[in-house]
Amino acid sequence: MAATSLFSCSMHTEMLAPKTLKGSDVLCCPKSNFLSMKKSSKLEQMKTILQTDGIHSNALKVERAPYFSVGQKFQLDDVIEAQQFDRDILNAIFEVAQEMESIEKNSPGSQILKGYLMATLFYEPSTRTRLSFESAMKRLGGEVLTTENAREFSSAAKGETLEDTIRTVEGYSDIIVMRHFESGAARRAAVTAGIPIINAGDGPGQHPTQALLDVYTIQREIGKLDSIKVGLVGDLANGRTVRSLAYLLAKYKDVKIYFVAPDVVKMKDDIKEYLTSKGVKWEESADLMEVASECDVVYQTRIQKERFGERVDLYEKARGKYIVNKDVLKVMQTHAVVMHPLPRLDEITVDVDADPRAAYFRQAKNGLYIRMALLKLLLVGW
């Protein structure tokens, strides 16, 4: 169908192909009539990802507005990477997350997503991400279809392609949350699907919902996002969480990022180049104590053994080099916090947990509110 036909059936002028919202008259196109159009549009969007700003996306192009009207369609079809978000939409999502916190605490019988089904398709292990998404869906009255180890216990083990799996699963659900072992898999799924895709981590690529909850946590803990210093510590080469977080921090003013990592897992050049292009100050350091004394946030990560393959020698060389312990706490500022995407091994000692600056379990809880917000926005709008 011609582009003019597509846009004539939408009440909005957004660049993204619209999706039908259940129980809403926001769109006049029935879902079955525009799935093929949506897929075509999404293919164009994903091409734009590779063409704009190096790695920026259109998914992606969000109209700047001082506010978002209740009932308005969410500006994104999918959540694939951190570059999709600008400050306006981040602030609006954080406001919705605060509303979700109120719902979780005061309205346990919420039916906002009654009648919707979410499929969680996880090809890699997960505890917090998968369970928080499932909890988020159920707390809003929705239902969940889940597979915990899709790499082994799905037709992928028989050789089924990701695209065929997505085409099948979208027939059973209204939204898919996917974790995959290959970087770029979420983008492939989004191009294929006619329903929203949320990237819950794609190999060493990105983890955008983790970055959203991380920035939300920093705002709540520190009270601001401009003019802050953040130390990213640990496995920066393989850590998708730190990559996505760096992209989001670049949206804010006067931010400085320190990279503290063993030589074999230093932050990759693409992130450094991106930060430089956005005017974000960054510095590599081998001195965790000095960085901790300067920073508002010490963001620790584990060394990811699963990314080293047979090079166990490199893993052992990196593991244990930088540990956050009570000595690190002593040099940290009183307002500063320690964060971690979890799980941890020995990179944060257990005796740190009792310090009020240990924010990582509060951080994990915030993941519930951010994911409740994203599910609500993607399925029913603002």
> For residue range 143-170, what is the model confidence (pLDDT) as tens digits?
999 876 655 545 555 568 999 999 999 9
Q: Under CATH, what is the fold of the domain 209-365?
A: Rossmann fold (3.40.50)
Average pLDDT, the chain: 82
CA 131 – CA 330 distance, rounded (Å): 34
Catalytic residue set:
128-129, 158, 179, 207
The verdict on whether omega for the bond into residue 343 sits within 30 degrees of 0, i.e. cis, is yes
**pLDDT value for 307:** 63
**pLDDT value for 311:** 80
CB burial class (10 A; 0-12, 13-18, 19+) of residue 109?
A: exposed
Two tokens at 147?
């597979």
Model confidence pLDDT, tens digit, residues 253-275: 999 999 999 888 899 999 999 99
**Summary count for the chain: helices (H), strands (E):** 14, 9
- The full set of domain ranges for the chain reads 104-206, 209-365
- Reported as a pLDDT band with limits 50, 70 and 90, residue 304 is confident
Q: Of 25 and 215, which is predicted with more confidence?
A: 215
How many degrees, rounded to 5, is the angle at CA 201 between CA 199 and CA 202?
A: 95
Q: Of 334 and 61, which is predicted with more confidence?
A: 334
- Percent pLDDT > 90 in the chain is 62
- Asked if residues 235 and 260 have their Cβ atoms less than 8 Å apart, the reply is no
Q: Of 71 and 109, which is predicted with more confidence?
A: 109
CA 171 – CA 185 distance, rounded (Å): 19
**pLDDT value for 50:** 40
For every residue of 267-309, DSSP letters joined together read PPHHHHHHHHHTT-EEEE-S-HHHHHHH-SEEEE----GGGST
SS3 string of 60-84? CCCCCCCCCCCCCCCCCCCECCHHH
Q: How far is CA 29 from CA 43, 188, 273, in A?
A: 20, 25, 42
Superfamily in which the 104-206 domain is placed by CATH = Aspartate/ornithine carbamoyltransferase (3.40.50.1370)
| Topology alike, domains 104-206 and 209-365 | yes
**pLDDT value for 126:** 77
Two tokens at 263?
């030589």
pLDDT at 54 over 90: no
